[in-house]
Structure 1
């Protein structure tokens, strides 16, 4: 026979000490969900004295949505189910608190439902911190959104400034010079009309050609101000339309190959489109090319590659870059900066009478 080391009364005493000193509230409910026993921590949490708790249905201490939750959860006990849930109650003082309750069912010797035992924790402070964290997160999100808008506005401002500089150079290189020459021709015609009408007619004919050129340049500058709607038409479709129009107006044969395995961000589409447009503008104005080949593709590493190659007269790259005005004229600086803003690289391969090849590589974010 095994000798017992603890009597039942000693075990009961130990359990009572444990229950009375535990950090959570303990509540024993009968089959009508009225407390028959609560430990000191439960009194401390709720603020109610013993005589106001024992024998009173717990529903009278809970109101609103929390009462519905409590009824639903206690209904599970009759079915033999345990659960864990959170409700909001009022302490004796009127202060609202949040309780995390873990409940299990009780059954008597005959297997009939006898009530429930619940462990109750006051999580009011945790809820307060969660709410504070949520509010702080919302504030941070608003601040991030605000700063993002500022960055977008700043980027737009920089882009507008750069576009103005590009257009100013474009107007200076073509339209302004042509109009200045036209003005001189007009003055010359005024002087010749009385003395040499034959020469005056010749000068007027030249003037007409210059004005026609100015009209074309003006239309080109206006066209340069416009950006297509990539979202509506699709980036590849926009490029195809641009090259068809370029070939029709310039008479230069164009071959376009686009193979994109992933979609491009709008910012990338705009940047690449501007590089292409500037490069093609250079071909039209300076290269004396008969053919242009363009390849735009993505690779397995997630990089975007752009190659534009013409069979034109080419130029001395070192000499062109050394002369800032010449570099601006050819738009090299603008294309380099555009590629840099996209986080990419820009290279030019050219030599006199050997055509020009432009390469752009842009890493795409995952």
Structure 2
């Protein structure tokens, strides 16, 4: 019984230790273990079981704490990432709202711009046409319809060549090749209206290309220049009539000069010659010295008058021009300038036949006289040369001096300052006769003027 009591006492103490350790473990002391030694097999087995159970519980609790710590850390990381992402989304949303606002403003501006351009296109005075790469019309404005007499439905979907005659189609084909190369040079073309009337236009083209550089078509702005072309035509007609009138006036003037010269020669000249002859006969019969002296004085005056009349006759009518031709008249004219003004005159003639009309002969003579006058007034020349030659179907006369020359870029084109025949008149009258006038000069190197007109001229009709 004593052993049983002792054993029971030992079991009680062992159980108490077990309960104490379990209580500590329950309080969180996972390191507590049953450590007492006992000879009672039951207590040792219970100790082993309790310690193993405490170890397992400690392991599970440790794992759980680690899992909770990891879960807490993951939760904190998730919270951080959520906050960061939320901030990013807020910033992105703000940017998106700004972009949406800007896009709305851009769309409003684009809409207003489109409306402005649409209004501009529809109210512009020029016609606008857009064609694709096959020259098929895809758009026209109201003015283009008014200009051609067609409606939009009658134009869109059709080739622009329906508005062109053969000549205009040739121009369009050439210009279309330029568009495909990216070239955009304004050109003139005539459109045929629906009522077959012609409309002269000035086209300002613009080729169109896609983002790959492929040609997609072109648009053109058409300006109606019909009235301008008509005015130009009328102006050209007026210019032709003025040239004709100037030529006729020149002929009338020359005829009047010739008539006056003839009168001077036939009446005044003949009378002076007759008087001179009579006075010479009278002088031979007279014996008194004073009478002979008076006769000498009268003879001298008559001789001077005869020379003056002869000179005046040549200046007015230039009989050589009609009697011996242009070459002889120009040669005589040059030597008159040499005699009166001290110029050294040179004359060259290729001696080829040069058949020309009276109108042309008169004009060339007057032009050369005007050029020689210019040389004496402005060139300060010592020598002047007049050359006349035939160049196939043309007659060419050049007047060349060794004077001071001038800068041709500073001269007012063909302007005559003294109101004379003038370079402008020379240019215009030669142009009327189918010829041309040009001059070359350089400061310090003299001047050369060249007159060129066709031979055997057939007079133009002035309508």
Q: TM-score, normalised by structure 2?
A: 0.42
CA distance in 2, matches of 1:167, 1:233: 20
Q: Residue 83 of structure 1: SS of its match in structure 2?
A: coil
Report if the CA contact (8 A) 2:343-2:381 is conserved.
Answer: no
- The answer to which structure has the higher strand fraction is 1
Q: Which structure is richer in relative contact order (CA contacts within 8 A, separation 6 or more)?
A: 1
Alignment-derived partner of residue 115 in structure 1:
217
Write the mapping of 1:147-162 to structure 2, written as runs, cut at 5 A.
147-162=249-264
Deviation per CA, 1:249-280: give whole Å up to 9, x if none. Answer: xxxxxxx99434899x957999xxxxxxxxxx
The Cα shift of 1:116 comes to 0.4
2:195 equivalent to 1:93: yes
Alignment-derived partner of residue 40 in structure 1:
142
The Cα shift of 1:81 comes to 0.5
Deviation per CA, 1:188-220: give whole Å up to 9, x if none. Answer: xxxxxxxxxxxxxxxxxxxxxxxxxxxxx9xx9
Larger CA Rg, structure 1 vs 2: 2
Q: Residue 186 of structure 2: SS of its match in structure 1?
A: strand
2:53 equivalent to 1:53: no
Which one of 114, 120, 137 corresponds to residue 239 of structure 2?
A: 137
CA distance in 2, matches of 1:140, 1:237: 33
Write the mapping of 1:56-75 to structure 2, written as runs, cut at 5 A.
56-75=158-177
Deviation per CA, 1:66-112: give whole Å up to 9, x if none. Answer: 11111101110100100111112210011111111110100012211
CA distance in 2, matches of 1:141, 1:39: 44
Unmatched runs of 5 consecutive residues or more in structure 1 = 185-216, 241-255, 271-296, 305-341, 343-365
Which one of 266, 270, 273 corresponds to residue 171 of structure 1?
A: 273
Alignment-derived partner of residue 235 in structure 1:
334
CA distance in 1, matches of 2:117, 2:210: 20
Which one of 252, 256, 259 corresponds to residue 343 of structure 2?
A: 259
Unmatched runs of 5 consecutive residues or more in structure 2 = 1-97, 286-302, 314-318, 348-363, 370-374, 383-419, 421-448, 450-463
Paired residues, what number? 227
Q: Residue 110 of structure 1: SS of its match in structure 2?
A: coil
1:137–1:262 Cα change, 3 Å? farther
CA RMSD in angstroms comes to: 4.2
Report if the CA contact (8 A) 2:133-2:218 is conserved.
Answer: yes
1:64–1:231 Cα change, 3 Å? same
Report if the CA contact (8 A) 1:235-1:269 is conserved.
Answer: no
Report if the CA contact (8 A) 2:335-2:345 is conserved.
Answer: no
Write the mapping of 1:159-308 to structure 2, written as runs, cut at 5 A.
159-176=261-278, 227=320, 229-231=328-330, 235-236=334-335, 258-260=342-344, 298=376
Q: Residue 211 of structure 2: SS of its match in structure 1?
A: coil
Report if the CA contact (8 A) 1:104-1:117 is conserved.
Answer: yes
Report if the CA contact (8 A) 2:127-2:222 is conserved.
Answer: yes
- The answer to which structure has the higher helix fraction is 2
